[in-house]
Structure 1
């Protein structure tokens, strides 16, 4: 009976480590977001970075804790009007939900205008900042306000696995190690028990 309880506890520990730290309390309530109507000129003036590109990937958190949990767009840049993006493709971060001031959702393949702030080496955008899908009228307005822009730096090779993969594999590996150690300890106890008889 004791060994069955220990095995069950080992499985529970391995699953808990594999899933990662899951909040025990409920997430904080989401705050509503409302934007004061801003002219494009004011949005461009406030921004650290104004770029154009195509969304090539969307990374959402595996276990979001609230509507303010961050998601990341990977955007292959083509034109830079303002600022110096740290790399191409650029990591563009926003809250998951518009209720938490997250930018509108952009599917993979959309050409977008990113109007954002530089935060921790990433571009951060929000609902009120002016980021949107491109259209000829919008691009004409941006060109009239900021000039023709310059071509973005060439694409850089992929630097490593995406963050979500690392976030999934590290706890899974830890869970596997804990499970193997527990099984080895159990086997050693069983061998000692047989040897003493």
Structure 2
């Protein structure tokens, strides 16, 4: 499905993309032969208001069945000349979307599937979560899978971690220059083994 854009009035009382899309994907419709079918959003997230992830359960006559993932790209443009300030593009996990930032709380709700694209997407999401959860301490030496070129022209792939609370910076072990690395948690890296000298204690 392509992009769907709308004015602010079409969002109704919903103040966020998450609230609007939760309502869009939660519904119940009567069937010609009797009974009802629909969807129910069990959990959702819209990190940084850019990508919406949801665990949606198929409902048949009020009984829950399969739970699958819905992914929506989200765009806001308050300066749009035609007033179409909000847009989204919806996909299912079976379409193998590129976006793989789905939280574990949503992945854990999904029921089993045999769809190769959905399985591949779920695996990529789990791998990304694992990368984000890797422990990193102040003073660790790391090696990136690919060298980076910085705005000052410096090229390097090894750094010493400078950690101050939640803030991360990276010092070149040779030049001692201090750098920021964008989207660091999404990058591939490994710890470089180093020999640590412990203080000698005298009795």
Q: TM-score with structure 2 length normalisation?
A: 0.29
Greater helix percent: which structure? 1
Identify, as 1 or 2, the structure richer in strand: 2
Larger Rg belongs to: 1
